[in-house]
Structures are given as C-alpha cells and as structure tokens.
Amino acid sequence: MAVPGGVLAIDAGNSKTDVALLAPDGTVLGRARGGGFQPHLTGAEAAVATLVPLAREAAEDAGLPPGQGPLASLVSAALANADFPAEERALASALRARRLAADVRVVNDTFAVLRAGVGEPRGVAVVCGAGTNCVGMLPDGRTARFPAVGRLSGDWGGGGHLAEEALWWAARAEDGRGEPSALAAEVAGYFGLPTVRDTIEALHFAPARWTAERHGLSPLLFRVAAAGDPVAGRLVERQAQEIVAMACVALARLGLLSVPAPVVLGGSVLAARHPQLEAAVLSGLAARAPLARPVHVAAPPVLGAALLGLDALAAAPAALARAAAQFTAPAGAPKPPAPAGAA
C-alpha cells in the first residue's frame, strides 16, 4: 500500500486522545483512540511519545504496513495544554522528531472544537468542560485566544471550578458564614457523610478522594440550582456571564461582533445542555452580540483537527465535506473504501 498524502489528525485532550488518518480527498483511512495528553505534567517529549503508538495504530487500521515511514503530508495536532506559543513550538518540535509526516502544525485543542462546528475557518468557540477556554479564527489566518490557565489568567468556571465553588458555598451555608443553601445537605450526601464539616475533614485527610470524586459536584450544582436554590442559581448565572464575556471579547477582537458569526459551544458542561445555563448564555449573547449564531457542536473534535489540516493543504470543498460526513456518520456505519491509488 502506498503512503497516503493527506492528514494525520490528532485531537489530544486531558482525558482522551483521538487520531485519524485521512487521504487528500477527505476519506478517513484509519482511526485510533488512547488516553489523556498532559504535557504540563509529563513534559512535551513524554507526552508526544504517547501519540506515536496511536498514530501507528491508525496506520495499521488504514492497512499500511508496520514500520511505514511518513504517514501523511501533514500532522494536524490540536493539543490540550498548548496554551502559549512556546508550548506549541515545543510540542511541534517533538512531533517533527518522530517523522510521522512531512510537516507538523500544532494548535490548542479549542481550535479543533471551533473548526468542527463551522463550515469554514471563521467564528468563535467557547469550551466549558473541566475548565474554560475560548478561541476565534478567520479564513485569513487571524486568531483570537486567551491564555486559559485558570485563575492565574483571569479564568472563572468549568466543571472543576464549579465543584470547588459548590463545596465552598456548602461549607459557609452550614457554619453560618454564608446564606442558607441546599448545597450543604446535597454536598454532604454526595460524599455519603452527615455534614459538610465531616466532608471537609475527610477530604483534608484523604485529598485523593477529592480529586477522584469532585467531578460529580458540577452536575449536582446544576440540579440544586434547577430546584430553585438561590446560591446555586447565582453560580450558574456567573458561569453563563463568563461564557458570554469570553465569546464577545473574541468576536470583537476579530471584528465579528457587528456581523453574523457562529459561536460554537463545546465541552462537557455546555454539552449537558443544562436549561438554566443554556438560557442564560443565549440571553446574554442576544443582548451583547445580537448577530451571533450559537451552535452546539455535535461532531468530535478530531474532525476539527482533520479539517484544519485539510484547510492547510488547500483541499477542495468536496474533501472537507467528505471528511465531515464520515465523522458524523452513525455509530457502526461501515468505513468508506480507500480512494483509488491508495493501495
């Protein structure tokens, strides 16, 4: 089988990594999935080393012989924790050293969410998952972005932050420093303990439990808010305000605030479609960016990485459409045949 041109697309997030090998005409030849990608903890070299077996697995799925040299014309890698240009350069350098393709392009993984949700590289995306991030881009290559490294860079929100807020307000509701809130009983019950004080003590002496179980406090917060609790409701409203603020700033930076433009909403918190959060986000965008068109992205971010790669290769519109159709095909649909000349 001949070496395909095209794109080796990588979407590497904190919890999982998806890899796809595409022919120049947008046909998906092979795929692979692996674990999380955390270069901020392991270093760029060690993190990139975990991508190589996945690339080889996608190549094997495509029918390429083991040990085949470059797998594509371009590695299009959308990577979590690539928040600053220096990090993008380090990750790109580590990928080039692996010789998986003739060229390498690395972007933050939020760009993949954006590109997966739009028909052309134009618009803004806000991700609210474990944390928050926002990017924007235009067809001429201009982008807008935030450092997105937590409170250090002015961020507020995301599932991890909301979990901390839920516990903080529960503690104050129980001991009297804050106003009463159903969060106190609900948080203690979530951890299977009688009181928030018991919960705090348990987490103090077993902090690993907090790391392992905190993810469940974000949906708990939304449930308590939906039941009418004012403390939880204000936290949901604050999250919506932050999402709207990031989107509007990115739109303004790219000159899109006064023209019709998509705002792609992604990440696990937004994907859950909590009614209060969604209503507040939509009303906030309507007030501050009335021409913005909110879009909930349904396609996997690896599609965005693939489309960014095909954009860079100046692929025909038909190739972009073919790739998009395959990544949004129903589960279990047969893989399309390889294009003529690939074998």
pLDDT digits 0-9 by tens, 66-77: 888 899 999 999
For residue 338, what pLDDT band results from cuts at 50, 70 and 90?
very low
Residue 339 has pLDDT above 60, yes or no: no
SS3 assignment for the chain = CCCCCCEEEEEECCCCEEEEEECCCCCEEEEEEECCCCHHHHCHHHHHHCHHHHHHHHHHHCCCCCCCCCCEEEEEEEECCCCCHHHHHHHHHHHHHCCCEEEEEEEEHHHHHHHHCCCCCCEEEEEECCCEEEEEECCCCCEEECCCCHHHHCCCCCHHHHHHHHHHHHHHHHHCCCCCCCHHHHHHHHCCCCCHHHHHHHHHHCHHHHHHHHHHHHHHHHHHHHCCCHHHHHHHHHHHHHHHHHHHHHHHHCCCCCCCEEEEEECHHHHCCCHHHHHHHHHHHHHHCCCEEEEECCCCHHHHHHHHHHHHCCCCHHHHHHHHHHHCCCCCCCCCCCCCCCC
* pLDDT category of residue 331 using cuts at 50, 70 and 90: very low
How far apart are alpha carbons 43 and 48 in whole angstroms? 9
Confidence band of 328 (pLDDT split at 50, 70, 90): confident
Q: Identify the band that residue 224 occupies on the pLDDT scale cut at 50, 70 and 90.
A: very high
Q: Mean pLDDT, to the nearest integer, of 147-170?
A: 96
Instruction: Specify the pLDDT at position 65.
Output: 87
Residue 60, pLDDT score = 95
| 150-154, long-range: CB < 8 A, 24+ apart | none
Residue 164, burial from CB neighbour count under 10 angstroms (0-12, 13-18, 19+) = middle
Residues 160-173, mean pLDDT to the nearest whole number? 97
* Cβ–Cβ < 8 Å for 110, 133: yes
Of the chain, the percentage scoring pLDDT greater than 90 comes to 90
Above 90 in pLDDT, residue 332?
no
How many residues are listed for the chain in this entry? 343
Q: Is the pLDDT of residue 165 over 80?
A: yes
Bridge partners, residue 11, by sequence: 18, 78
Residue located via tokens 């489309």? 307
Please tell me the least confidently modeled range out of 143-152, 199-208, 217-226, 331-340: 331-340
Mean pLDDT of 14-37: 95
Range 229-234, long-range pairs (CB < 8 A, 24+ positions): 229/181, 229/182, 229/183, 230/179, 230/181, 231/169, 231/173, 231/178, 231/179, 231/181, 231/183, 232/166, 232/169, 232/181, 232/182, 232/183, 233/276
Across the chain, mean pLDDT equals 93
Contact at 8 Å (CB) between 131 and 155? yes
**Cα angle for residues 38, 42, 44 (degrees, 5° grid):** 80
pLDDT in tens, 86-125: 999 999 999 999 999 999 999 999 999 999 999 999 999 9
Evaluate if residue 15 carries a pLDDT over 90.
no
pLDDT digits (tens, 9 = 90+) for 241-284: 999 999 999 999 999 999 999 999 999 999 999 999 999 999 99
pLDDT value at residue 4:
63
Label the pairing between strands 17-22 and 7-12: antiparallel
Question: Per-residue pLDDT tens for 29-59?
Answer: 999 999 999 998 899 999 999 999 999 999 9
pTM, entire model: 0.91
pLDDT tier for residue 3 given thresholds of 50, 70 and 90:
low
Q: What percent of the chain has pLDDT over 70?
A: 94
* pLDDT at 158 > cutoff 90: yes
Mean pLDDT throughout 128-156?
95
What confidence score (pLDDT) does residue 335 get?
52
- Residue 329: the pLDDT is 57
Q: Which of these, 132, 155, 153, 135, lies nearest to 144 by C-alpha position? A: 135
What value does the CA radius of gyration of the chain take, rounded to a whole number of Å?
22
Picking from 171, 134, 165, the residue whose alpha carbon sits closest to that of residue 256 is 134
pLDDT of residue 120: 95
Confidence of residue 342 (pLDDT cuts 50, 70, 90): very low
Q: Is the pLDDT of residue 322 over 50?
A: yes
Separation of alpha carbons 102 and 275, rounded Å: 46
Q: For residue 76, what are the β-bridge partners?
A: 9, 105
